Copies of this chain bind each other. A is one copy, B any other.
Amino acid sequence: MAKPATIQYNLAKLYWYGRQYSLDGEALTKGRGGTRTIDVISAIRAKIAGRALSAGDRLPSIRSLAASMSVSPSTVVEAYDRLAAEGLIRARRGAGFYVSPTVMPPLALAEVEPRRDRAVDPFWVSRQSLDADDAVPKPGCGWLPPDWMPEAALRRAVLAHADASLLTDYGSTRGAPALRRLLLARLAEDAIEASIDQLMLTGSGTQATDLVCRFLLRPGDTVLVDDPCYFNFRALLRAHQVKILGVPYTLSGPDVARFEAILASERPRLYITNSALHNPTGATLSLPTAHRLLTAAAAHDLTIIEDDIFGDFEPERSPRLAALDGLARVIRIGSFSKTLSASVRCGYIAARADWIEHLVDLQVATSFGGPSPVATAIIAGVLAGGSYRKHMDELRQRLARARREVARKLQGLGLEPWLMPRGGFFLWCRLPGERDATQVARAALEEDVVLAPGNVFSVSETATSFLRFNVAQSNDPRMWDVMRRALKARAE
């Protein structure tokens, strides 16, 4: 009596494979194989659909099917391999091919859309942003849209490396020397004079931070972050099971008096910050604040991770802790995820040479080698090609326009930026009337708009009525409709 369900299941299954087929068909005509392979695939699909072949049945031998369809045996092999890759049939080594005993149902809905019932914690924005459909407006996400990135330069770099042995081999433990030399030159532009043994490449900026945390921290240690700070610092530190403290962030960096007091009373092991274009506020560390922070850090033997991920978005260079300190107790971290590509990922760590030596071991143990040699070759290719500076010049100009425009629109809705940043793509805004940003974000998500509510950035959870807007991801009219409705609903 399970027939109707079974039939429905099989219809869904056939629909799915039908869809796969039409997609594959196109690919096939472009690839090797061609129409004869498609004919064989179609014939087998038809037999399974028409029940001439059922779950567990052995398929015709390659030789016999080739003869009966007047194709070459290699065409049948190609067709069977593609059907096996999809899961419709299975190979048993040395024993031919069989119809799969179970066939996967079409992708469940839960798979297509991220879950919405999650707690609004530091993971919330990441999961919603990363898993949202391309069409969903994401003013809360932390990166630029694909069409802001230098796709042409990346494509050129990819094509240049498509036929190298780079495609197959592991990379060296510290990462490609060519990219490290280019990075040293860029560090020198920030007045950070490092030697080649003070630099290593990592899988990403986040992995760089994680690696340093693994090296320095033990469960139960105390770590200081800015309040507010990049929400994933909080998620990452939770994974390290440390006690997280926040220091209020001001227009010129962390509140120095509070910073000194916390160092004296709580003895944190580590402070994680990003100096230039602070995330989420867009504020900038001033030189006197930097000096006082480093003096206090030296007095209390505090190590500092300075994440420079937004540095290249600055119109003019601002002070860096790493430059002032000369990489003695400051560890500089960066990546190209925000400027070049988040897909071709690569981060780096610049630090004391003896620390780098340990960090390299740690990266071997936990990732077996550094970033993909293909990724580092592509990034080095783009950087050495000389188009990077022009790309960044254009991005800065485009972002300046977008910041002005989005700030104006937000002000029209009663949202006030905490500060008008010198650069970058974030506006940290307070909702009118002390509204709860988490509720606004939940309501927006119901209408397919991903916002970034303030408290995910705040250790003390005192940013209740703030939202962080990515100006490069805020041009979809739906987002503004949703904002308008969400604010109105809350007002009522």
Contact = CB atoms under 8 A, between A and B. Distances in A.
Contact of A169 (B146, B171, B189, B193): B146
Interface in A12-36: 24, 27, 31, 33
Given A151-B168, A167-B344, A344-B167, A364 B130 contact: yes
Interface residues of A, number: 109
Given A93-B315, A344-B372, A210 B111 contact: no
Interface in A448-470: none
B87 A181 contact: yes
A17 to B, nearest CB: 11
Interface string A188-232: 110001001100000111110010001000110000000000001
Contact of A385 (B31, B94, B149): B31
A81 B389 contact: yes
A481 interface: no
B93 A123 contact: no
Contact of A170 (B82, B94, B130, B368): B130
Contacts of A27: 384
Given A167-B344, A214-B239, A181 B130 contact: no
Given A87-B185, A91-B189, A365 B236 contact: yes
A85 interface: yes
A486 interface: no
Contacts of A366: 206-207, 210, 236, 239
A364 B235 contact: yes
A103 to B, nearest CB: 9
A429 interface: no
A156 interface: yes
Contacts of A317: 93
A215 to B, nearest CB: 9
Contact of A368 (B162, B232, B340, B343): B232
Contacts of A206: 366-368
A210 B372 contact: no
Contacts of A325: none
A401 interface: no
A81 to B, nearest CB: 3
Interface in A75-124: 77-82, 84-87, 90-91, 93-94, 100-102, 104, 107-108, 110-111, 114, 123
Interface of A: 24, 27, 31, 33, 77-82, 84-87, 90-91, 93-94, 100-102, 104, 107-108, 110-111, 114, 123, 126-127, 130-131, 134, 143, 146, 149, 151, 154-156, 158-159, 162-163, 165-174, 177, 181-182, 184-185, 188-189, 193, 196-197, 203-207, 210, 214, 218-219, 232, 235-236, 238-239, 315-317, 337, 340-345, 360-362, 364-369, 372-375, 383-390
Given A126-B364, A337-B368, 14 more contacts: A33-B386, A85-B185, A85-B386, A86-B182, A93-B317, A101-B188, A130-B171, A151-B165, A154-B168, A158-B167, A159-B159, A232-B364, A232-B368, A372-B375
Interface pairs A-B: 4 shortest CB-CB: A87-B185, A81-B386, A235-B365, A149-B168
27 contacts: A77-B390, A81-B386, A82-B386, A84-B389, A85-B386, A86-B182, A87-B182, A91-B189, A102-B188, A107-B177, A123-B361, A127-B360, A146-B168, A149-B168, A154-B167, A154-B168, A155-B167, A158-B167, A167-B344, A204-B367, A204-B368, A210-B366, A214-B239, A219-B219, A236-B365, A239-B362, A343-B372
